[in-house]
Structure 1
Amino acid sequence: MLDVKDFTFFDKQNSFDFKGFLIKTLSYWKWFVVGLIIAFSIAHQVNVRKQKIYGIETTIAVQEENNPFFTSNTSLVFNWGGTSDKVQMISTTLKSRSHNELVVDKLQFYIDYFKQTKYFLQDVYGQVPFKITLDKNKNQLFGQFIKVKMVSNNSYQITIPFQTNTAQVIRYIDNKKSIVPIENKEFKEIFKIGETVNLPFLNWKLDISNFEENNFNEEILVRFNSFDNTVSACMGLNVVIDEKAGSILKIGVQGTNKDRMVDFLNTTVNVLIKRQLDNKNKFADNTISFIDETLGSMEKQLKNSGDEIKDFGKNNNIIDIEQGGTSFKNQLLDYDAQKDAVERKIAYLSSLRSYLKNSVDFSKLPAPTIAGIDEPNINTNVGKIIALSIQRSELEYSVKGTFSYERLDNEIQSIKKVLLENESTYRNSLQYDLNGVNKKIAKIESEISRLPENKQEWLKLSRKYNLSDNIYNTFLQKRSEASIVKAANLSDIQFIDPAKDVGGGLLGPKTSVNYVLAFFMGILIPLALVFFIFFISNSVQNIEDISSQTQLPLIGIVGVKHSESNLSVFERPKSALSESFRAIRSSLQFLYKKNNIDGSKTLMLTSSVSGEGKTYCSLNIATVFALSEKKTIILGLDLRKPKIFDDFNIQNEIGAVNFLIGQNTLEEVIKKTQIPYLDVITSGPIPPNPSELILGDSMKEMIGELKKKYDYIILDTPPVGLVSDALELSQYCDVTLYIIRQNFTKKEMLTLLNNRTKRGELNNVSIIFNGYENKAKYGAGYGYGYGYGYGYGYGNGYHEDEEPKGFFAKWKYRILKKFSNGNN
């Protein structure tokens, strides 16, 4: 007898069975295969459905380019500044709206070209066989696809499926949108190449470019977008200032079309170079414009003076008049030139003061040296204020907020104050020089007044003409200098690496990364499911689960039944499953011997709930006893759900119930089976009071009579966890076998079994682990590996191997069996 102290259990143990979890995880290999297939399929679909994203870059250098024609002797000064602020300003300009408006307009990026692929619309800019020339003054269909198809070498077809009787159009000259009526909901018409299309909703001319034979009947989708939205999209390019070289800018853009990105980057830099060079020449342009205006007026004065001298010469002898007046003429010419130079300087200073006080845009100031001003402070500060004014106008289109404006305005105001101080000081100096020249001229004029009147008139006319001619030649020289300097100017922006498609540049989608993620997701998701199942499962999975819940002895392990009938031992006596029941028979004989039980032996089989296989085990245990030529009888006492009669092909019309109620004798209820030495008593008709029948004296009488006739009596009883019938029958039994089924019996039922055993309700209890799969979801070889015999090699010749079900399992079985036979 077992001591009650032996029945300890560990329901509250929470130790993680890593080995069990690992083996169980590997047993779900099909889940992982399916998970990987699904994950890789999704990754593949993502990769083929997403357009490839590329990155294109160009590199430019920003540096101060000195004019090779600007020397210390050049009287026109307008080179100033450095690269300190230019790099940041250029970086800002590249993202400005004003700059990108020029680029978008030049490239006509507001026109989209698409081709429909299997999964998406592909941008085919730069790959279409035609070029569109728009009439910006007229309407173009807005935001809707226009299908263009080449039908011959000199014609194409336009198809537009309108949704309503109206269409929205845009006019790119002023970006104004409007609505026009449509006659038909689908427009389809053929036009000639180069023909001007004039429709209420479309005005263009289409010309051939890069046309190939395979372009015939190829449908290109053309769409006109918002100019402002297109410009906004282009303003997001990436501009990076090189950390190691502050004058180097890397300009990058991302997209799906390399041709579009290359054109955009190269055009945006070329537009920037032109704008920067135009701004750099602003000073020279202002100077040349001022000189041209002065030369125009001087030409008139020079012509008038010349005409007056001609008229005077017609009535007078110039040769005689010139005698005696040459010295006065040369002196007056020299002093007049000095006076004109000083007056031009004073006039420029007056104009400068007025400009500084009354204007806010100083970008149109002419060079001070055009008036002969060589004062370095004025020349330098005028150059600075023009540069700051130009910079401020650039920021107006690209910078939000007032911080940058305030900084530039403060600098401009500071330079303006300095210029006004410089102008006042320099004006006083020039006024002193002018007074001195005027005194010298007055002295000579007083001497001339004593000459004859005709000589005075000639000196007056020649003096006026020579002065105009001298001024005119001076301005011509300065204009030539300004033109030379302007023509020799170089942009401060230079290409280092123009944008070019050299292959590569792929940014996404990262197909390899997607496949790596798919691999991990295909593993992790099934793993998480297995992990979840492992921890929420409350059923007995393996022998460790039994040993951790109870210390009742495990008398045997029975594998899974693969036959249709429950008579597995009788049908295949040499199978591994039959060997497991023979092992149970040997263990039972040991228990009987240990407990000194002689003569007829009684064995009761029960379980926690229905479906755990107690009837199946009862039949096969009885069969192994019968095959050993021991008179054995199975007594079906599951009066509520009788089962055993089906397997023996007998009727359940009379049985144990008929004997217990005194209706039939014992001989009448005992039935022979097809198995020698094995008889059976079925339960009979279902009674209204099964528990009372079992408790009656008739049951004791039945067991007593059967012990006289049979060596082994097998009681097939109802589940002990549902009804109390088995507890009442335990008094007649020598040994009780409790059936636990793998992946079916709940662990808490073992706790119930422990409690019943402690209270003495069940005696001599041993456990049979039924339905054990040696290669199932519980792990190959997990536990004792007892249920299917001794393995492929050792078991060969001792019992019949059962070929497993399933494609992979069958092939593995055949390979191992062939290998085992080869070794033998």
Structure 2
Amino acid sequence: MNSQPSRNEASLQDDELFDIKKYLFLMLSNWYWFALSIFTGLFIGYLVNRYSVNVYNIQSSLIIRDDESPNSFTGAENLIQGLKLVRNTKSVQNEIGILKSYSLALKSVSELDEFGITYIGVGRRGVVKNELYKRSPFKVFLDSSKSNLTDFPVNITILSNEKYLLEINNKYNIKKELKWGEPFRSDFFNFTLKIRSRELFSNYEMGSKFYFVLNSLNSLANAYKGKISIDLNDKKGSILVLTTSGFVPEKEADYLNNLMQTYIQKGLDEKNRIAENTIRFIDSQLTDMTDSLNGAEKRLQNFRSSNKVINIDKEGVVIYESIQKLQDDKGKIDLKSRYYSYLKKYLENKQELKDIVAPSAMGVEDAQLADILEDLNKAYIEQETLKLSVNPQTPGLIAYTFRLETLKKTLGEKIKSLIDVNEVALGEINRRMDDMEKEMSRIPYNERLLIGFEREFNMINKMYTYLNEKRAEAAIAKASNIADNKILDYALPQNATIIKPNRRMIYINGFFVGAIIPLLIIFGLNFLNTKVTDLKEIHRLTSTVVLGTIGHNKYDKDLPLVSNLRSTLAESFRGLRTNLKYILREPDKKVITITSTISGEGKTFIAANLALIIALTGKKVLLVGLDLRKPKLNSIFGISQQNGMSTYLIGKDEFNSIVFQTKFDNLFISPSGPIPPNPAELIGISRMDDYINEAKKRFDYIVIDTPPLAVVTDTLVISRFTDALLLIIRFNYSDKEVLNLVENLKTSEATKNIALVINDVIAKKHYGYSYGYGFKYGYQYPYEYSNGYYDSEEAPLTLKKRILNFFK
């Protein structure tokens, strides 16, 4: 058998549902708060846009040659690479690191004269402050021979075409009038202000305020290093897009353009450095050889002149040529020895590896040595690039340092091996030359001397010529060098875009924030509101029947029905009277008990007016005041008698003596009487049952006003003879927890025929009810809903007012 869900379970499920219609009408009925909040948000957005300083974004682009590409060298560059006088070990990622390096940023800002000082123009209200850069009406000339404090504002006010007011506040308290062009001297500032141009100066009124700040180049370089971004235009390409932002597009463009030019020049200088070092090394060798060559040539000429010997015989020529060949080999070995000594000294002095002369420049064709030097150069460049962007203790940088040391050790061992090989080769040549010297002893003495002089001259001459050839090759390499990278697009101020403030987005945010704030307030107040405000809430939280709803009493009377029988309030009591018949169906069901959970919910008001509206139908009604603790019926009906229910229950009075006719037909009342010390005990005695039985015989209906049941137990005591128990719930007053108590009472055997009456419902010409904290909701009828059946309490609305009233 399938079990059906209980009413409470269904109510809990419904309670979890979001009542969209409810909140929609809450928002519509409070439209003016939304309008005010949105207007405020938009106005704040206007102020932000009005007083925010524009931030511009500007771009430029570079083409980087990637040496990892097989087609990176073309034309003349292939020739230079063939000479092996220039090394290229570039990659795009390394070049990005160099462009974002501190050293390059520092060099760039140092070369820009206007970057040393920041000029700021102050608005009339002192709110807006704009950086002027080259548009400032004056220029500051520093006295470099004396100190100037950086990062401290110096205030300037234009007084006239001849004078200005200088102010340095805070601890210095300097205030002085100076002429344009007059030097200012102090312990911390030494400068001269001159008008930049009369055209710019004429754009500013007298009294215009400015201030300037002397920048620290270190801080400036770090700032630009941090804010520049570099991205690859295409992952497969090598075009770099450089982006930066700032308050003055001209300033940012100058920085980007100078950064690119400095970077390109730096790369070209590094390419030329090897060729320059080669030329310098060869020049030092040629200097030593020039004197030796001149001396050898002079000695040869003198010998020929004095001995009249011009040529040697055939045998001497053969010996001479053999010695000459050996002498050439010895010269090459000697040149290699000089180069190996140069490398050894270079390593011992721990100089920068990027300045090493290439081995091919000195005729050294050892492939292993060339590979070691190439690996060493690559590792050194990668280490230097990594130093620009990481901490010295980074594992990657430590690994490169270790690799460099290993390669240096390998190079040192290789140089030692080459020196040893060279010495062996030199010894062999010297031995063969000694053999040739013995052969020369057979030719005439003068011819032997001539061969010696010519041999010396030719050996030095060939070395000199060889070095000149290598010098020419190095000079060609230097002259033919072109930059690896080139500027594709310069940064142009007119191409700058505004990135802040985003005026459109600020207005959109202002609109949405303005709309969200009252929405959050509505949701928050609704969430925090623990009072009963909605019939739907009652249905969700309890299955107890709502017998009727009573409108708000705005007549300032305890019995408003007397003079307002055609009012909506009277009609709500008539509805309650009609609904009672469905509970009191049997003729003997006459006792109606009216209570509430706490004081102030209107139980006595409803008891009195319900009794009156029933009496108006011709039924005899007895209104019983059983709220013996705080009786109010006496004041409502103007009864001054001292006897009542309390005196009857203690046996002092009889039934007839405590029942009084009111001024209304068919309505009688039994007042509470004096307040007893033990109300609950009195109500529980059998005399109370006798009273009810007698009342049933004489009256058609008995309406009992009892104390709040959440405060005292009196109501539960009289439940034994109650036929209908009406529990009063007051809108915007009763707590929602009361409904849990109602649900418990319904399941209790002590109560029967319990029903709810909702009090103080404020009708706003729409279905629905007033909502706490000033927020209202409901479904509005576009017409008067009395339709002539009862008197409307307000004048009929015009169509315009009806439309406007919908949003109230």
Task: State TM-score, norm by structure 2.
Answer: 0.74
Once the two structures are superposed, residues 569-623 of structure 1 have per-residue CA deviations (whole angstroms, 9 ceiling, x without a partner) of 334322333222112223345655x31249xx65442233322222221232233
Distance 1:771 1:736, change over 3 A: same
Say if 2:272 is the partner of 1:274.
Answer: no
Name the aligned partner's letter for residue 287 of structure 1.
T
Worse-matched range after superposition: 281-290 or 293-302: 293-302
1:715 to 2:728 alignment? no
Deviation at 1:427, TM superposition (A): 7.4
Question: Which amino acid in 2 is paired with 1:359?
Answer: Y
Residue 562, structure 1, aligned to residue 570, structure 2? no
Aligned twin of 2:166: 158
Q: Deviation string for 1:503-542 (max 9, x for gaps)?
A: 33627776478559747964884576367448xx485842
Distance 2:376 2:725 in 1: 110
8 Å Cα contact 2:164-2:177 kept in structure 1? yes
Q: Which residue of 1 aligns with 2:524?
A: 529
Report what 1:503 is aligned to.
496
Aligned to 2:774: none
Conserved 8 A contact 2:158-2:164: yes
- Give the match's secondary structure for 1:718: coil
Distance 1:365 1:224, change over 3 A: same
Q: 1:78 to 1:389 in 2, by over 3 A?
A: farther
617, 639, 644: which one pairs with 2:628?
639
Among 143, 154, 161, the alignment partner of 1:146 is: 154
SS in 2 for 1:402: helix
The yes-or-no answer on 1:406 pairing with 2:398 is no
Q: Quote the offset at 1:186 in angstroms.
A: 0.7
State the 1:282 CA deviation: 0.8
Which of 340, 349, 353 is the aligned partner of 2:336?
349
Structure 1 contact 283–366 (Cα < 8 Å) conserved? yes
Q: Which amino acid aligns with 1:581?
A: F
Residue 557 of structure 1: SS of its match in structure 2? strand
Partner of 1:585: 577
Contact 1:97 / 1:232 at 8 angstroms: preserved in 2?
Answer: yes
Contact 1:115 1:221 in 2 (8 A): yes
Counterpart in 2 of 1:62?
A: 64
What SS class does the counterpart of residue 14 from structure 2 fall into?
Answer: coil
Does structure 2 retain, via aligned residues, the 8 Å contact 1:20–1:778?
A: no
Q: How far is 1:691 from its partner?
A: 5.0
Which moved further from structure 2: 351-360 or 415-424?
415-424
Residues of 1 paired with 2:164 and 2:97: CA distance? 44
Q: Residue in 1 aligned with 2:108?
A: 103
1:656 and 2:636 aligned: no
Aligned counterpart in structure 1 of residue 86 of structure 2, from 79, 82, 101: 79
Residue in 2 aligned with 1:204? 191
The two structures, once aligned, show a CA RMSD in angstroms of 5.6
CA distance in 2, matches of 1:489, 1:383: 21
Q: State the one-letter code of the partner of 1:100.
A: A
- Which residue of 2 is the match for residue 219 of structure 1? 209
Q: 2:497 is paired with a residue of what secondary structure? A: coil
Q: 1:731 to 1:367 in 2, by over 3 A?
A: closer
1:16 aligns with 2:49: no
Identical-pair percentage: 25
Task: Assess, with a 3 A threshold, how the Cα gap between structure 1 residues 451 and 133 changes in structure 2: closer, same or farther.
Answer: same
Q: What CA deviation, in whole Å up to 9, does each residue of 1:782-810 have, x standing for no partner?
A: 9xxxx9999846642223344599xxx99
Partner residue of 1:799 out of 766, 790, 793: 790
User: Matched residues in 2 for 1:748 and 1:151: separation?
Assistant: 80
Shift of 1:263: 3.4
Q: Is the 8 A contact 2:611 2:667 kept in 1?
A: yes
Corresponding residue number in structure 1 for 2:176: 189
Q: Please state how far the C-alpha of 1:16 moved relative to its aligned partner.
A: 3.4
Select 1:245's aligned residue among 236, 239, 248. 236
Aligned to 1:753: 745
Q: Deviation per CA, 1:208-255, whole angstroms, max 9, x where unpaired?
A: 447343445443343345554444444434444566236444444455
Correspondence list, 1:216-365, <5 A: 216=205, 217-224=207-214, 226-236=216-226, 237-240=228-231, 244-245=235-236, 247-253=238-244, 258-293=249-284, 325=310, 345-360=332-347, 361=351, 362-365=353-356
Asked if 2 retains the 8 angstrom alpha-carbon contact of 1:80 and 1:383, the reply is no
Q: 1:75 to 1:258 in 2, by over 3 A?
A: closer
- The answer to whether residue 799 in structure 2 is matched with residue 814 in structure 1 is no
Structure 1 runs not aligned, ≥5 long: 1-7, 164-184, 819-824
Sort the Cα spacing of 1:450 and 1:753 in 2 relative to 1 into closer, same or farther, 3 A: closer
Secondary structure of 1:78's match? coil
Match of 2:564 in 1: 572
Deviation at 1:628, TM superposition (A): 4.0
Question: 8 Å contact 2:86–2:272 — kept in the other structure?
Answer: no
| 2-structure distance, mates of 1:622, 1:613 | 14
Q: Deviations over 1:683-739 (max 9, x none)?
A: 455455555665689878887887798765543332234334445656776654333
Displacement of 1:277 in angstroms is: 1.1
Cα distance in 1 for partners of 2:586, 2:369 equals: 126
Q: Is the 8 A contact 2:369 2:414 kept in 1?
A: no
Q: Partner residue of 2:603? A: 614
Q: Is the 8 A contact 2:62 2:486 kept in 1?
A: yes
The aligned amino acid for 2:542 is Q
Letter in 1 for 2:557: S
- 1:376–1:790 CA distance, 2 compared to 1 (3 A): closer
CA contact (8 A) 1:655 1:685 kept: yes
Q: Hey, what's the Cα distance between the residues in 2 that align with 1:190 and 1:432?
A: 88
> Are 1:739 and 1:769, in contact at CA under 8 Å, matched by a contact in 2?
yes
- Which has the higher mean CA deviation after the structures are superposed, 493-502 or 702-711? 702-711
- 1:394 aligned partner: 384
Alignment of 1:654-803 (within 5 A): 654=642, 656=644, 660=648, 670=660, 672-673=662-663, 683=672, 686-688=675-677, 690=679, 713-727=702-716, 735-742=724-731, 744=734, 746-754=738-746, 758-759=749-750, 765-772=754-761, 792=783, 795-803=786-794
Which structure 2 segments of 5+ residues have no match? Answer: 1-5, 772-777
Deviation per residue, 1:17-60 (Å, 9 max, x gap) = 35674344345437898589769967957966887666544432
State the 1:203 CA deviation: 2.7
Mean CA deviation greater in 65-74 or 562-571 = 65-74
Comparing 109-118 with 717-726, greater Cα deviation is found at 109-118
Matches of 2:54 and 2:232 in 1, distance apart? 27
In 1: Cα distance, 2:377 partner to 2:329 partner: 27
How far apart are residue 78 of structure 1 and its match? Answer: 0.7
Instruction: Please give the TM-score of this superposition, normalised by the length of structure 1.
Output: 0.72
Q: How does 1:415-454 map to 2 (within 5 A)?
A: 450=446
Match of residue 477 from structure 2: 485
